Amino acid sequence: MDAYLTDVVVPTMRERFGVEPTVFRDEVSVMVPPERLTEAAQVLRDELGFDALLDITGVDYWPEGQPRFHVVYQFYSYTHNVALRVRVPVEEDAAQVPSLVPLYPSANWYEREVWDMFGIAFEGHPDLRRILMPYDWVGHPLRKDYPLGYEEPQFSFNFDDIERRKPRPRA
């Protein structure tokens, strides 16, 4: 594992946020609560040199997971050539995470994708619309309680039929 990660990044995160990093297959991830995410991203960008946010995605642990979702951020530093993963646990009812668009513009589409697929809203996002699914789609497909369905080509004669059978999340 990279010395910069073990000697600088991990101690800083431990000191400032009281988080114990987990290491799996040489990859370091830290768990940060949603209310401290903006602060953590600020430290990562300005003090630790993580200049790129390469990916944001969500994971759904339904039905037994507590809290239900994790939002997973992949930070990367071009200067030091190290990667760090930040996981943010999110409850289903208060599915609300601060948006990182002001700090990392690349978060824009990724957060829209997570909103579209998991229904996790990002507070302060400039343009939180669906991105992959049609704008009037109901439900969030990558949630585990959303059935893996099929879609029939839609014509005028079977429109009502399809509308009735469309996969929907169990309410």
Map the footprint of other proteins across residues 150-169, applying CB under 8 A.
168-169
121 versus 133: smaller Cβ distance to other proteins: 133
Q: Considering only residues 59, 92, 102, 121, which one is a binding residue for other proteins as defined by CB under 8 A?
A: 59
Tokens encoding 46: 């300005």
Q: Please state the closest distance from residue 106 (CB atom) to other proteins, in A.
A: 3
Q: Rounded to whole angstroms, what are the CA distances from 125 to 110, 112, 122, 133?
A: 11, 9, 6, 18
Buried b (16+ CB within 10 A) or exposed e, 91-120: ebeebebbbbbebbeebbebbbbbbbbbbb
Helix (H, G, I), strand (E, B) or coil at 72: strand
CB nearer other proteins, residue 13 or residue 82: 82
Binding site for other proteins (CB under 8 A): 24-25, 27, 29, 51-55, 57, 59-61, 72, 74, 78, 81, 83, 85, 104-106, 108-109, 113, 117, 126-127, 129-139, 141-142, 144, 146, 148, 168-169, 171
